Structure 1
Amino acid sequence: MSHTSTPNPFPPFSLLHSLYRLLIPNPRSSSLPSLLCAHPSLYKNHHHRLQWFTDLLRTSPSNTFTLYHSLGCHWVVTANPTVGQHILKTNFPNYQKGEASRTTFADLFGNDIFNVDGDNWKFQHQVSSHKFNTKSLCKFSSTSQDILQRFTFDNICQIAFGYDLDYLLPSLLEAKFAVVFDDAMQISSKGFELPYLVWKLKKALGIGSEKRLRAVVSEIREFANTIVKEKKQDLNEAKALESVDLLSRFLSSGHSDEKFITGIVISFTLAARETTSAALTWFFLLLSQNLRVEQEILKEINNTVSSELAVEGGYDEVKEMVYTHAALYESIRLYSPVPIDRKKVTNNEILSDS
């Protein structure tokens, strides 16, 4: 049985720092050192884990290496684009979330799109893909990371749920939902850094970070449930909606289970907020360090977007901004918004880099 992690399948996320875990018994698992394996190194480098993985990947000619985990298991870490394409496209059905990942993120995501496979994943993906298309995004067109996070948080709530959080008001009110969301993601992700039995014990006893996780997840679900109830009320009262948002689409598809729909709200908030704000933060940082590129982008904006469209936002014109797109993609290639994605192999196979 194998565990893998790979880059996110949705463009424009890069293939850098892909991680996939293989839970194949280690031939040395009977020896004493294999009980600890990489855990001391993982703990030592947990504050800069991505950089640590990157440094190790640079030493591998194939951009892939094996990291021995506890109890006879091991991780295979790869940044090989060919391997990433194989896992995420060519043989996608063979790579799933895996029981360990589902269990670790069960409190936060439950049976949402980030934590399921098969028909459940296909349904959620098909329904949501109708909303995130060119037509729906045309209406939605600002440099610290906090401002960018507020910007993306407001945007995803408007696009996906028809709900305005007003996090960008001049007063910059406390973004409570955003703060507890960050806490939940950090605590859940750190579950992979602990030996599995240690994490299970903390979870069962509700101590340490797991106690905090229960509290923040409760706040997140309460907030998301409020959005769902208000949307249900709007639909029941047949209020005229300016556009059919993602949440309305799910509710209209016959899924009235509030727990399920609440999970949809949480999952898609994560999908947009974490990726977009990270991508924009790195992009503007790199622009501040490369004046020539900034000047070329400004020149392209002035030559492409008319003064009238500059106010309203011209989506078709923006598509013609080749240099700006290239700069954004290069920024994403260098600093991926989704640096790690995890998958589980259902059937063993030999990857292209052997």
Structure 2
Amino acid sequence: MFIQLFTSWILLALPFFILIIIKTSKSKKPPSPPSIFPKSYPIIGSSFAIKSNRKNRLQWITQILQSCPSATFTLHHLFGFRQIFTANPANVQHMLKTHFFIYQKGPFSTSVLFDFLGNGIFNVDGESWKFQRQVSSHEFNTKSLRKFVQTVVDTELHDRLIPMFSDAAVDKTVLDLQEILQRFAIDNVCKIAFGFDPACLLPSLPQAQFAVAFEEATNISSERFRAFLTITWKTKRFFNVGSEKRLKIAVSQVRDFAKKIVREKKQELADKSCLESVDLLSRFLSTGHSDENFATDIVISFILAGRDTTSAALTWFFWLIYKHPEVEKEILKEIKEKSNLPVFEEVKDMVYTHASLCECMRLYPPVPVDSKLAMEDDVLPDGTVVKKGMVVTYHPYAMGRMEKVWGSDWAEFKPERWLERDEGGKWSFVGRDPYTYAVFQAGPRICLGKEMAFLQMKRVVAGVLRRFKLVPTVEDGFQPLFVAYLTSKMEGGLPIRIEERRNFD
């Protein structure tokens, strides 16, 4: 009761503190040019700057990091709370590998996402994370799962995506590419994770309740992170009103659906003497991990990881190659050269396409920021002092825009920066270390689905571009806006029309 009264008093008194600070901070000196670095005041920190840049926070923090000699910056929040942002590869390696067990998800992040993700692999630390990681790693490394993923992707591509694009080309229909790719992705990930087909990419574009609820839960959970004060969403949750009421309904729908699938899968496995299904849920249950909540948490986490990441990357990819026809021409040449190879060999040898996807995700990473909580005092390699309880955020979006790393042409979409030619003129891929290019995380938490994501994306690129040209229906000078929830999106989607490609072969 005392804490609630004290908090209420602070909130009521805050405007008076702000007025005093503003008056005492005024200077008689002539005004200096505006600084990109936010001003910080006692008690309220940089709250003014944070609030005014709420809608363009990614770009704002990126500009600050670009201006910092060490690409590291400390942002001051209310009541003395400080958050460190970094785009320094040495700091990222320190956090994600060298001192991995100091930098964890922490109780704040876990509590924000718990209603949605529970104790799934992306929301836990310590022994629980280690156990889930070991089980998941074993399953992801099996040849049978890789083959299953390839089959699922090719089936969805040839039975649904390509026919839809073909019909749109004939009817001259305008499609939202981002929505279509999201539907494609959720069909794929549900088949791979559950062995269940939600059929979101049927010609009628049905609104599957599970998919709609998942989208709602993702967006509202993300908004919790951006709340000016944590107490705001916690209060709404306590009284079950507003966005928190919608979140509760959405999460209930997602979890009820997932648990129903888990129960049906357990029964299916109990009725059979051997495992016939190769989806992830069947694999987990068949190894003895049959706890219903455990299985549900894991599957929801994998759907979150696979649903928006590849669709976001591909949306930006198709936009970028439209803006850079010379890159599209080189990709088409590569597709034509590899078209007679078996599917796996074709994908593996698509070096220029692989480089183009990496370059796309450098500029528009599917997960643009990631935060860790310092469990001990520490010092980052660039000398930044970290106190126990501080949040340290590494920033893949900013990291892809650092001139010191990528050169003065960092703003250009240039797949060749990932390539070199041998003596015979053949391209070979030259990767960057995962701490410079942290799009898939790095260290012990590096993305298990990285290779599967590239497989899926390259199969889509080859299958679509072989048949169609995707033309955005936007005005000249249009520049899509990159926005971030738990994963990234293109604000408002990307309207396109489809043109059949003639005489490709």
Q: TM-score range by the shorter chain?
A: 0.7 to 0.9
2:243 counterpart residue number: 209
Quote the Cα distance in structure 2 between the aligned partners of 1:47 and 1:137: 39
Are residues 1:273 and 2:307 paired? yes
**Alignment partner of 1:254: what SS?**
coil
Quote the Cα distance in structure 2 between the aligned partners of 1:285 and 1:64: 31
Per-residue CA deviation, residues 20-70 of structure 1 (Å, 9 max, x unaligned), is xxxxxxxxxxx9744332334333333332222222222222221111112
Matches within 5 A, 1:68-217: 68-133=76-141, 135=143, 136-138=145-147, 139=150, 140-141=153-154, 142=161, 144-193=177-226, 194-217=228-251
- Displacement after TM superposition at 1:242 (Å): 4.7
Please give the TM-score of this superposition, normalised by the length of structure 2.
0.60
Quote the Cα distance in structure 1 between the aligned partners of 2:275 and 2:293: 24
- Displacement after TM superposition at 1:228 (Å): 1.0
Per-residue CA deviation, residues 71-93 of structure 1 (Å, 9 max, x unaligned), is 22111111222211221122211
Runs of 5+ unmatched residues, structure 2: 1-19, 22-40, 155-160, 162-175, 384-505
Contact 1:108 1:184 in 2 (8 A): yes
- Displacement after TM superposition at 1:241 (Å): 5.5
1:222 counterpart residue number: 256
Counting matched residue pairs gives: 319
Calculate percent identity across the aligned residue pairs. Answer: 53
**Matching residue within 350, 359, 369 for 1:340:** 369
1:227 partner amino acid: I
1:352 partner amino acid: P
| Greater relative contact order, per chain length (Cα 8 Å cut-off, separation 6+) | 1
Matches within 5 A, 1:224-239: 224-238=258-272
- Displacement after TM superposition at 1:238 (Å): 1.0
Contact 1:247 1:265 in 2 (8 A): yes
2:29 counterpart residue number: none
1:3 counterpart residue number: none
1:20 counterpart residue number: none
2:79 partner amino acid: L
**Alignment partner of 1:297: what SS?**
helix
Please give the TM-score of this superposition, normalised by the length of structure 1.
0.84
2:254 partner amino acid: I
Are residues 1:258 and 2:292 paired? yes
Are residues 1:287 and 2:316 paired? no
Contact 2:275 2:286 in 1 (8 A): no
1:22 counterpart residue number: none
Quote the Cα distance in structure 2 between the aligned partners of 1:38 and 1:46: 12
- Displacement after TM superposition at 1:316 (Å): 2.3
Quote the Cα distance in structure 2 between the aligned partners of 1:182 and 1:37: 34
- Displacement after TM superposition at 1:243 (Å): 4.1
The 1:259/1:192 distance shift into structure 2, 3 A limit, reads same
- Displacement after TM superposition at 1:353 (Å): 1.7
Segment of structure 1 superposing worse, 200-209 or 323-332: 200-209
Contact 1:184 1:217 in 2 (8 A): yes
Structure number with larger C-alpha Rg: 2
Quote the Cα distance in structure 1 between the aligned partners of 2:46 and 2:271: 57
Runs of 5+ unmatched residues, structure 1: 1-30
The 1:321/1:74 distance shift into structure 2, 3 A limit, reads same
Q: CA RMSD in A?
A: 2.1
